[in-house]
Amino acid sequence: MSTTRMHRNGISRLTILIAALVVVLVAVIVVTALQDARKKTPGTSTPTGPSTLGTGYVVRPFSASDLNGRIVDNTFFARQRLTMVNVWGTFCGPCIREMPDLAQLPAKFPSADFAILGVIADTPDAANEATARQLTGSTGVTYANVIPDRSIMTEMLADVSVVPTTFFVDHTGTVVGEVLTGSRTKAQWMSVIQGMLANLPAGS
């Protein structure tokens, strides 16, 4: 093979290599841009604070139906100083046993101070939704219980590994205090709620 041909082959291989690298670089840029576009929606801001459920976590936007077909979204938290979010399942004995006590809690506090929002972890599922309606009716629960939408499933419930799990949210939609697992008596919950309200900033 002549020196000229070898030189040409070398240039050809180099050209192909450079072209391949350019294609890969462009592909990486495009994929990154698409991922950023999926994460950010025009006109909205990315929530600040921790990315996992706990103190300081900002509840991500959601819009879910409750068992009565009413839409519940983030504005629910703005109606009162403190919201108790109780994540439960229709298969969970401790969840069901504490429901009669939970049902009595809202009446113990002014509505401007406190409310409960139930999240049914094992829905959407037609059979489980029917069971949930039966359980809330038989235990005297009248507070809203929502069927998780995609946001609740992928964000709020992403860090929930057991039921019942309970956490508290202030009027700005920010989690306050620690995330609690397991059931409690009415007296125990009263003590927790009173402590939470006492620790909220004045005027909140």
Supply 84's token pair: 């108790």
87 and 177 part of one domain: yes
13 and 99 part of one domain: no
Give 147-172 pLDDT, tens digit per residue.
Answer: 999 999 999 999 999 999 999 999 99
The pTM assigned to this predicted structure is 0.76
Number of domains the chain is built from: 2
Q: What is the DSSP letter of 49?
A: S
- CA proximity to 176, closest of 112, 134, 94, 114: 114
| Partner residues linked to 64 by β-bridges | 72
173 and 95 part of one domain: yes
Give 180-200 pLDDT, tens digit per residue.
Answer: 999 999 999 999 999 999 999
Asked if the model's pLDDT at residue 56 lies above 90, the reply is yes
CA 49 to chain centre: 13
Better-scored residue on pLDDT, 28 or 188: 188
Give the count of beta carbons closer than 10 Å to the beta carbon of residue 171.
15
88 and 1 part of one domain: no
143 and 186 part of one domain: yes
78 within 8 A of 171, measured Cβ to Cβ: yes
Q: Which domain holds residue 7?
A: 1-44
Quickly tell me which residue has 């040409």 as its tokens. 8
CATH of the domain at 67: 3.40.30.10
Alpha helices in the chain (DSSP H): 3-39, 93-104, 126-139, 150-154, 186-199
